Amino acid sequence: MIALVEQRRAHPLDPEQDLMSGVLAARDEAGEPFPPEVPIAIGVQLFAAGGDTTTQAITAALHEIATTPEDQRTLRTEPALIPQAVEEYLRLHPPLHQLARTLCTDVKLHGQTMSESDLVALSWASTKRDADKFPDPDRCMIDRTPNRHLTFGNGPHQCIGAGPRSHGWRCRPPCPGCSSAPAGSSWTGTRSEPTANPCSPGSHTCRCASATTNRADARASTDESPVREEGDDRARTRYP
């Protein structure tokens, strides 16, 4: 990580495209660059957190698919439901169940008074089973919509992985109606293939009119991100 930071410091890339170049280009509230150890710490945190949580989330989703044959068949015949299924798997099986926050001011919530500097636990797992927000919350519904879960947190502390998941998870096989493959891939339709990555989010133009319509409708109803409440500075992340 130190070598990567030094490389990007000497030869920065586009900060809009390269994460570490963006970190190095960031400035604190006084307009000054962060101390040298901060980019290294951020890089280590991203690699550690991103690796563990991603593998756990994918493992849980694969287990859910393997143990629910009916849902598996549905996803094979209706791949346009994959984005909704991804969100449902993330809701039911969050990689992290809770995180801590240190209160910056006194807060009263549901009759409970919490004081400034109190350490409080935010249970993401509990929010996803809230029957007031999710009908039949313990049931896996791959077509659930809306699905505004908090697996990636909320507000100014929302997980940076909330965006990349759209590209890493939402892979689509060829349309079963016309067997057209996503642009830029060599998908052949067998389990041992494709020889190249079949994922090309947003670029799959299906030759099957009905499937094209279904995909467009699915995107319109499922690509909405969870509600974010910006500007809430009452709590901040506490790092170990």
Q: Mean per-residue pLDDT for 105-114?
A: 92
Query: Residue 165: which of 73, 91, 54 has the closest Cα?
Result: 54
Please report which confidence band the pLDDT of residue 214 belongs to, taking 50, 70 and 90 as the band edges: very low
Q: Is pLDDT above 70 for 1?
A: yes
Q: Mean per-residue pLDDT for 136-162?
A: 87
Higher-scoring residue by pLDDT: 168, 86: 86
Q: Is pLDDT above 90 for 116?
A: yes
Please, are residues 50 and 111 in contact by the beta-carbon 8 Å criterion? no
Query: Residue 225: which of 123, 155, 171 has the closest Cα?
Result: 155
Spell out the domain ranges in the chain.
1-67, 68-237
Q: Is pLDDT above 50 for 190?
A: no
Query: Residue 162: which of 175, 177, 176, 150 has the closest Cα?
Result: 150
pLDDT more than 90, % of the chain: 45
Q: What are the tens digits of pLDDT across the range 63-88?
A: 999 999 999 999 999 999 999 999 99
Q: Mean per-residue pLDDT for 195-209?
A: 39
Q: Is pLDDT above 60 for 25?
A: yes
Whole-angstrom distance, CA of residue 208 vs CA of residue 64: 29
Please report which confidence band the pLDDT of residue 100 belongs to, taking 50, 70 and 90 as the band edges: confident
Strand-pair partners of 121: 100
Q: Mean per-residue pLDDT for 156-170?
A: 65
Please, are residues 176 and 77 in contact by the beta-carbon 8 Å criterion? yes
- Look at residue 165 in the predicted model and tell me its pLDDT: 59
Higher-scoring residue by pLDDT: 213, 61: 61
Outline where DSSP puts E strands in the chain: 98-103, 107-109, 112-114, 119-123, 235-237
Average model confidence (pLDDT) across the chain: 74
Whole-angstrom distance, CA of residue 224 vs CA of residue 148: 9
**CA 103 centroid distance within chain:** 26
Please, are residues 28 and 35 in contact by the beta-carbon 8 Å criterion? no
- Look at residue 169 in the predicted model and tell me its pLDDT: 53
Strand-pair partners of 99: 122
Neighbours of 222 (CB within 10 A): 21
pLDDT more than 70, % of the chain: 68
